[in-house]
Amino acid sequence: MTPDYAAILATIHAEVQPLLSEGKVASYIPQLSTVAVDQFGMALYCLDGSTYEVGAAQQKFSLQSITKLFALALAFSREGDAIWARVGREPSGNPFNSLVQLEYERGKPRNPFINAGALVMTDILSTRFVQSDVAVLQFARSIAAEAGIDFDLTVAQSERETAHRNYAIAHLMKDFGNLHNPVSTVIDSYCRQCSISMTCAELAKAGSFLAQHGTVPWSGLQILDRSSAKRLNALMLTCGTYDAAGDFAYRVGLPAKSGVGGGILALVPGELAVAVWSPGLDATGNSLAGTYALERFTTLTARSIF
């Protein structure tokens, strides 16, 4: 029986209100610190084409690390398993911008969703495309069927000006031979990629191909084969929410990718994609209200992968 999604979203919207003032917006990227914390939006894109929204589901926000998922999907669709020679598939257990583990493991990032792994994906795409950030943007536009999706260049500039740790990560990998393009090229592209902005409604639609086993549900375009989509879903579950992935799997029970802009994209394979946005973050960099909303969603719908 199909849940009453409209009623469930309305319930969640009411329940999260007390949480909206508890999180803290990301401050290490100055432009993100200007976003009002007390905002919340949530949207579903079901594989039959039906959609549901609540709150600020039409408000644009910076995807930040959620774009790592699209970059990975694009690189995997072009390069296949060859990418795993340069990046691992294990949870890091460390902050997403840590250098310690990277030094110890000789420049091979643990997974594609920490910053080091995402920079390797940017490097791979920079070799294949003239501008990797534009390639990721065009990919996002195509899977969301929305030509208006774009970079937020103010966010990109703010991120570029404070990218000292990412520069350190990139130079370290360059020293180990795991970055093939110039560091400045990779960092510039990565900062623009992270600034891509969407609404919850657009993000849920864009992510729906991973709920549909690699095929865009509204067009039939195959982005990944079924096996590859399964692998990306597994990586989302184990690595997609920073070093809180275990707790997130325990509480929510869905493959997901979060970003410090306050967004989270989650999947119910075979049924739907759900996107939530609230810019107040918890201590691990995940949206505080967004994580709670997804936990309530899986409880109220009895939908999870477990």
65-194: CATH class: alpha beta
Tens-digit pLDDT profile for residues 143-156: 999 999 999 999 99
pLDDT the model gives residue 122:
98
**Is pLDDT at 238 greater than 70 in this prediction?**
yes
Q: What integer is the mean pLDDT of 236-251?
A: 94
State the fold for domain 5-61+199-301. Answer: Beta-lactamase (3.40.710)
Name the DSSP class of 263. E
pTM for the complete prediction? 0.96
The pLDDT assigned to 94 comes to: 67
Distance in angstroms (rounded) separating the CA atoms of residues 134 and 287: 27
CA distances from 157 to 140, 163, 187, 191, 193 (A): 21, 10, 11, 8, 11
Question: Which positions are catalytic?
Answer: 65, 68, 190, 242, 260
Q: What is the pLDDT of residue 23?
A: 93
**Close Cβ partners of 14 (under 8 Å, ≥ 6 residues apart):** none
- For the chain, give every residue range classified as CATH 3.40.710.10: 5-61+199-301, 65-194
Per-residue pLDDT reduced to its tens digit, 77-123:
999 999 999 999 998 766 666 788 888 889 999 999 999 999 999 99
- Residues in contact with 272: Cβ distance below 8 Å, sequence separation at least 6, in sequence order: 44, 45, 46, 47, 204, 208, 211
Q: How confident is the model at residue 43 (pLDDT cuts 50, 70, 90)?
A: very high
CB 245 within 8 A of CB 239: yes
Phi, psi (degrees; rounded to nearest 5) at 246: -65, -45
Structure tokens given for 235 = 């990586």
Which phi and psi angles does 189 have, rounded to 5°?
Answer: -65, -40
**Residue range 174-228, pLDDT digits in tens:** 999 999 999 999 999 999 999 999 999 999 999 999 999 999 999 999 999 999 9
Tokens of 101: 């583990």
